[in-house]
Amino acid sequence: MKRLMIALFSAVVLCSCQGVKYDITGVAVNMPGEVKLVSADGSEVFGRCEVIYETGHFEFKGKLDVPTVAYLLDPDDVPLTIVFVESGKINIYLDENMNEYRAAGSPSNDNYNTVNEIANDLQMGYNGLVYNGASAEEIQAVLDEYQALMRKAINENINNIYGAYLFSNFSANWEVELAREQLEKFPSKMRKTEVLKAVEERIVSLEKTALGSAFPEIVANDPEGNPVALSSLVGEGKWVLVDFWATWCGPCRNEIPYLVAAHNTYAKHGFEIYGVSLDNDAEAWKAYIPENDMNWVNVLGIDADKKSPAADAYGVRSIPSNFLISPEGKIVAKNLRGQDVIKKLAEVIER
């Protein structure tokens, strides 16, 4: 009865939507129990289905406002395959040659399978070159070919959710101008998808932190629980490095000795660091600061819901990431690594 009520409730929710009408069928091999179709971030369940014991058959039907990216989960909530949920009939099957499940039958799913096979061949070629000690030029040629494949696939799938998915994955390290240009090639119907709305938010944040832009404000709590505004550090004669990091991030930890050296050298000349931790473990963060001589302003940039408005405001998708703010409140440098912090400070601070 409980399972029936869940199914009826899901049907009501799905039928209340307009836009994408999907029909997904498949066969699960030796898999008794319930399979689920969930959003890529796990926040929504688009359907639950009891696998028919005799045949392994299952089916999901419903409606969504816009196409989306989902995963099919087995009874233990282990992902079986990615599914691009869009209008039409989609079939999920076990590819016995690869021993993995695949979705097929709609443009996004078919194109994903085609591009993935080419990408896998390139990956194998890359691995072989590295293993056999190929030259840097040969290895770079394969990497360039891979990037060209992804860009071509994005442009050839500009009207479907697979193109949006690829763009989301591969644009994170693009120059913001190029990312904006590519985003605007997508039709308005695709820009309403959650995938592209998230990309657009990221691009807007990056545009706000372009060199020469005024710094976005951050207010977060220090280890004692007191709110500290970034703006309280910025002003005449002061240079502030906003540093996004976490104790669990190895590359971040590698940068700390350089930051300590920079702070020790230039603090008396108006240099300050505003360290924004993206740690989920607040106690580990609090203990790490004094142990590593991080004698600057430290705040926790993660909220109770595990989100980070601070990272969102600066378009931060990976760490370490930092931004140098001038006394005029302008962003003058980004992502300084190692000795580059001290070199930049030597350029801008008069001693």
Mean pLDDT of 210-234: 95
Residue 3 has pLDDT above 70, yes or no: no
* C-alpha–C-alpha distance, residues 5 and 91, integer Å: 26
* C-alpha–C-alpha distance, residues 126 and 142, integer Å: 6
Mean pLDDT of 19-28: 92
- Helix, strand, or coil (residue 77): coil
What type of residue is 342? I
> Tokens 């119907």 belong to which residue?
189
In b/e form, how buried is each residue of 114-152, taking b as 16+ CB within 10 angstroms?
ebeeeeeeeeebbeebeeeebeeeeeeebeeebeeebbe
Residue 190's pLDDT band (cuts 50, 70, 90): very high
Residue 259 has pLDDT above 60, yes or no: yes
Mean pLDDT of 313-337: 94
143-152, 247-256, 307-316 — which is least confidently predicted? 307-316
Residue 208's pLDDT band (cuts 50, 70, 90): confident
197-211, 238-252, 279-293 — which is least confidently predicted? 197-211
**pLDDT of res. 87:** 94
49-53, 273-277, 335-339 — which is least confidently predicted? 49-53
Beginning with the edge strand found earlier in the chain, give each strand of the sheet holding 20-27 in spatial order: 57-64, 20-27, 88-95, 100-104
What are the backbone dihedrals phi and psi of residue 169, each rounded to the nearest 5 degrees, phi first? -75, -35
pLDDT higher at 95 or 304: 95
Mean pLDDT of 252-265: 97
Mean pLDDT of 12-29: 70
Domains parsed from the chain with CATH numbers: 2-103 (2.60.40), 109-208 (no CATH), 219-348 (3.40.30.10)
Report whether the peptide linkage leading into residue 320 is cis, meaning its omega lies within 30 degrees of zero.
yes
List pLDDT tens digits, range 305-315. 788 999 989 98
**pLDDT of res. 351:** 60
* C-alpha–C-alpha distance, residues 116 and 119, integer Å: 5
* C-alpha–C-alpha distance, residues 38 and 180, integer Å: 29
CB 257 within 8 A of CB 338: no
Residue 14 has pLDDT above 70, yes or no: no
Q: What is the DSSP letter of 179?
A: H
Cα separation of the two ends of the chain: 76
Max mean pLDDT among 203-207, 291-295, 346-350 falls in 291-295
Residue 12's pLDDT band (cuts 50, 70, 90): very low
Mean pLDDT of 299-303: 93
Mean pLDDT of 104-119: 96
Task: Indicate yes or no: pTM above 0.75.
Answer: no
> Tokens 């976490």 belong to which residue?
246
Q: Percent of the chain having pLDDT more than 70?
A: 95
Residue 47 has pLDDT above 90, yes or no: no
* C-alpha–C-alpha distance, residues 93 and 103, integer Å: 7
Residue 138's pLDDT band (cuts 50, 70, 90): very high
What are the backbone dihedrals phi and psi of residue 302, each rounded to the nearest 5 degrees, phi first? -110, 130
**pLDDT of res. 2:** 35
Residue 10 has pLDDT above 50, yes or no: no
